[in-house]
Amino acid sequence: MAGAFKGFGQKAIPFLKALDFHQSREWFQENRDLYQSELHEPFCDLVETLTERFEAAKLGLRGDRKRSMFRINRDVRFSKDKRPYNRHLSAILSPDGTKMEQGVFYVHIGLERCFAGVAWWQPTPELLQAMRKAIATKPAAFRGMVSSLKKAGLELDAEDRLKRAPRGFEDVGDEDLAQAVRSRHFVVRHDIDPATIHSPALVDDLVDFTLGAKPLLDWGRAIQGTAVAA
């Protein structure tokens, strides 16, 4: 397979550490070739290798080396933090290959941590409302999804939930459902051992994780269809 992922270079994380220390455009330009060979090009290969594997697994997620990657440059226009570079590199694979879709796979290689996620992140108000309604009115389907995730060793992220029930859902009594309708996002995460990013076996690890997270994708897609139809 042309462009198959062979692993990130051994200097990928050291490069990020050095870039974080210097935070200098001059330093980055002087070391751009190292960035390309150790980090950026392998990441592009990872995206395209995952796209082929996800297609074979019928996961409905794809990307490419142009549209999927987030820039390492930070947008500092509206930030007090004027450091020009991120401490990580990341990418999204989605149903249409863009970053604008919902029900996506995200992968993040950085200094603090390396991880992947499958997410319905910041869904539109209409979709979020439909998801909350589905939780309240079709609890068996929601609980079945949660149970399937648990069998795969995954659980929905509880961070960033509303402190109170959203309007219209105050009467949801069961604790698991009451917690769920307060969610702003529906996300499962998978920590990547930084020692494994230098091996092509990382692909298998990420495919296994995404297959385990498929119940979340399927649940959201079924609701998304009704939200669009409505």
Q: Under DSSP, is residue 115 helix (H, G, I), strand (E, B) or coil?
A: strand
Given a cut of 90, whether residue 78 has pLDDT beyond it is: no
Closest CA relative to residue 90, chosen from 106, 75, 111, 74: 106
Given a cut of 90, whether residue 230 has pLDDT beyond it is: no
Length of the chain as a residue count = 230
> Can you read off the two tokens belonging to residue 31?
């070391």
Q: Under DSSP, is residue 155 helix (H, G, I), strand (E, B) or coil?
A: coil
Give the pLDDT confidence of 127-174 residue by residue, as tens digits.
Answer: 999 999 999 999 999 999 999 999 999 999 999 999 999 999 999 999
Model pLDDT, residue 1: 44
Q: How confident is the model at residue 49 (pLDDT cuts 50, 70, 90)?
A: very high
Give the pLDDT confidence of 114-128 residue by residue, as tens digits.
Answer: 999 999 999 999 999
Give the pLDDT confidence of 176-216 residue by residue, as tens digits.
Answer: 999 999 999 999 999 999 999 999 999 999 999 999 999 99
Rg, the chain, Cα only: 19
> Can you read off the two tokens belonging to residue 58?
């019928």
Given a cut of 50, whether residue 3 has pLDDT beyond it is: yes
Q: Under DSSP, is residue 138 helix (H, G, I), strand (E, B) or coil?
A: coil
Q: What domains can be seen in the chain, in order of their start residue?
A: 12-229 (3.30.930)
> Can you read off the two tokens belonging to residue 157?
């992220």
* Segment 94-108 mean pLDDT: 96
Given a cut of 70, whether residue 42 has pLDDT beyond it is: yes
- Residue 106 vs residues 115, 142, 189: alpha-carbon distances, Å: 8, 23, 9
